Amino acid sequence: MSRADLDVRATILRDQGVPFVRARVVMAHRPTSAKPGDEAIIHADGSIEGFVGGTCAETTVRAQSLMLLDSKQPLLLRITPTEEPGIAEQNGTLTVHNPCLSGGTLEIFLDPVVPPPLVQVLGDGPIATALTRLAGELEYRITAVDRQAIGSALAVVVASHGRDEVEVLAAALDAGVPYIGLVASRTRGAGVLAELAEMRPDLARIAPGRVHTPAGLDIGARTAAEIALSILAQVVATRPHSAAPAAFDHHVAGTASGAMAEEGSVTVIDPVCGMTVAAVETSLHLDLGGRRQYFCGPGCLRAYSANPSGYPES
């Protein structure tokens, strides 16, 4: 994929509100398969478009990129085949030891592109108008409700005072939107949820716990602007937070014994070479005996497959 193709792809992803990391090789000491100027896009599922190195370098880039999508901070990643003395991480630069490299050293700039959170609002009254104004101060992207894009929204706020409420609430629940708010009194809110349960019996159980009504934190809000403030505060308070670990050296002797992924983990350790690997479906892995092991490359996978009992498990 050419740089021009990657530019087009990156523009499309930004327009769609999809997070990714743009990687560019800025230095390559031979022997390396990558050259300065090589680029790639790393997606949140670990898949990669483009080229920034062979399997081993790609494994390192994938693992670090997934962590950067959480921190949102750019990073200069230095990948070396031998351990280098000194501080591994300093001033936006991380040096990692990748024992699988063929002998060269790479420096790759990783730039996370995380679009602003999307908030969809139903309604055009004073509260909806105030939400639009205040969301801009939080650097949120706010739009009218769009059923096609509702699944990518951080929040859906229904402030239409009776128009299309049930239909939009059902769509937001179906899409798994993290925050769903209904601007209504407690009495009317209960009535709307009862109507929703009648229309969609399958949502009757989950709707009361997922739909915030009255929307917003109880801060004694009175004006439209204050209500909008309370709603956005509740969005912030309830938004999902990932538990990505801080970046660290890819090879620290004795610090890990296997490549089993714990619940919620972003990275795990290759049991053969000790490298850090992204615990995602796109990483090389082996399912054996009802358990999954992740590997940096085919060499480690083959070695493990030949003698699984010869390697420790976490």
pLDDT tens-digit series, residues 127-157: 999 999 998 888 898 999 998 889 889 999 9
Q: Binning pLDDT at 50, 70 and 90, where does residue 280 land?
A: confident
Over the stretch 66-93, which tens digit does the pLDDT of each residue have?
889 888 899 999 988 877 765 566 678 8
Task: Determine the pLDDT at residue 227.
Answer: 96
For residue 255, the model assigns a pLDDT of: 29
More confident position, 97 or 262: 97
**What pTM was estimated for this model as a whole?**
0.62
SS3 annotation, the chain: CCHHHHHHHHHHHHHHCCCEEEEEEEEEECCCCCCCCCEEEEECCCCEEECCCCHHHHHHHHHHHHHHHHHCCCEEEEEECCCCCCCCEECCEEEEECCCCCCCEEEEEEEEECCCCEEEEECCCHHHHHHHHHHHHCCCEEEECCCCCHHHCCEEEECCCCCCHHHHHHHHHHHCCCEEEECCCHHHHHHHHHHHHHHCHHHCCCHHHHEECCCCCCCCCCCHHHHHHHHHHHHHHHCCCCCCCCCCCCCCCCCCCCCCCCCCCCEEECCCCCCEEECCCCCCEEEECCEEEECCCHHHHHHHHHCHHHCCCC
Ordered by where they begin, the domains of the chain are: 3-115+244-306 (no CATH), 118-238 (3.40.50.720)
- Of the ranges 173-177, 260-264, 276-280, which is most confident? 173-177
pLDDT tens digits for 190-216?
A: 999 999 999 999 999 999 999 999 999
